[in-house]
Amino acid sequence: MPSAMEGSEGGEGEIMHYEETEDDSVSPTDLSELLKEGTKESHDRAENTQFVKDFLKGRIKKELFKLATTALYFTYSALEEEMDRNKDNPVFAPLYFPLELHRREALIKDLKYFYGEDWEEKIQCSEATQHYVDRIRHVGQHEPELLVAHAYTRYMGDLSGGQVLKKVAQRALKLPSTEEGIQFYVFENISNAQQFKQLYRARMNALDLDKNTKERIVEEANRAFRFNMQVFDELDKTGKSLTEEAQDGGFPVHDGKGDLRKCPYYADKLGGYGQRELPRVWQNPCSTDGAFCVLAGKTGPGCPCHAAVALAKQPLVQLILAACVAVAAGAAAWYIM
């Protein structure tokens, strides 16, 4: 199993060094295995929420991403305060890695980037996030052994699917290559995420916990997933009320405004290819006057989007795109927030 080197325990001011070794001692009764098996169904449900699926396709509006970042800030502030409170408690202490894992300061950087220096005055905790925060506070103060479930659910996801989401968000929102706005996903003090996750699981398995406590931790992990899904659903509902934005993750969709006759896609759907003015209209951008294109119907050779749409319709290209989406979804697994 992974072992800590140079005597570091992951405390403040130190950087954890670790090496990967073969782990032949993992058994079905180890907490890491119980969590893996016991949360599979929750994983599947979470990754199939509409918010997660849209995010993985690059369909994420900047305003919605800002709200998701805000939810993360309140969640991690509560979690890390409770972890600090229990850093010497033997039921949690071996999993205390503030230098490597804590996300609150990174989230503050992201919020400053999106909202400015007065970011604290511009954000508020949503209802679904507050329910999540309340549960974390209760656990930290009354059942600290269950903090293991919340830490596992959050940080292992951040180091796994979170890294896929980092790239999706950076591309879809046209964020700087210097990683402003996505510092949450950047773990500067972890040199190898896979090895660190193995170390973390080994520490979990070494906790002195009886069978009943392990079962309660698995139950709490599933509860954490439910809280996350409630936040996702809340964000999805909020997203539907936001102004439509063109995203890099896909072609723009008509927003119901503008003159449909100025877009050849919509003209075709309305039987307009026989209209005399269409060849002249094709010389204009498809987004003229707010009328955006959709991937439907025929396209005319003079339409600016024609070449891109024709390429996208090729069977081989569709197969490749489908495979990419499948790989991304699998890598992101249950994680997004």
Give residue limits of the domains in the chain.
Answer: 31-241
Q: Is residue 221 pLDDT above 90, yes or no?
A: yes
Residue type, 151: A
What's the chain's average pLDDT? 77
Interval 235-263 mean pLDDT: 57
Per DSSP, 244 falls in state P
Going by CATH, does the domain composed of 31-241 fall within 1.20.910.10? yes
Q: What is the pLDDT of residue 313?
A: 55
Report the alpha-carbon distance of residue 155 to residue 201 in Å, rounded. 11
CA–CA gap between residue 54 and residue 295 (Å, rounded): 17
| Confidence grade of residue 244 (pLDDT, cut at 50, 70, 90) | low
The pLDDT value given to residue 158: 95
- What number of residues does the chain have? 337
Residue 5, strand partner residues: 17
pLDDT score at 295: 35
HSE (CB half, 13 Å, CA atoms) of 156?
22
d(CA 178, CA 85): 34
* pLDDT band, residue 298 (cuts 50/70/90): very low
Q: Over range 87-104, report the average pLDDT.
A: 97
Token pair 């992974």: residue: 2
DSSP of 20-63: --------TTSHHHHHHHHTHHHHHHHHTSHHHHHHHTT---HH
Beta bridge partners of 18: 4
Q: Is the pLDDT of residue 165 over 90?
A: yes
Helix spans in 86-160 (H):
98-101, 104-115, 127-142, 147-158
What pLDDT is stored for residue 242 in this prediction? Answer: 83
Average pLDDT over residues 126-153: 98
Mean per-residue pLDDT, 94-120: 98
Residue 27 pLDDT: 87
Q: Please, are residues 263 and 294 in contact by the beta-carbon 8 Å criterion? A: no
Up-side HSE of residue 192: CA atoms within 13 Å toward CB? 10
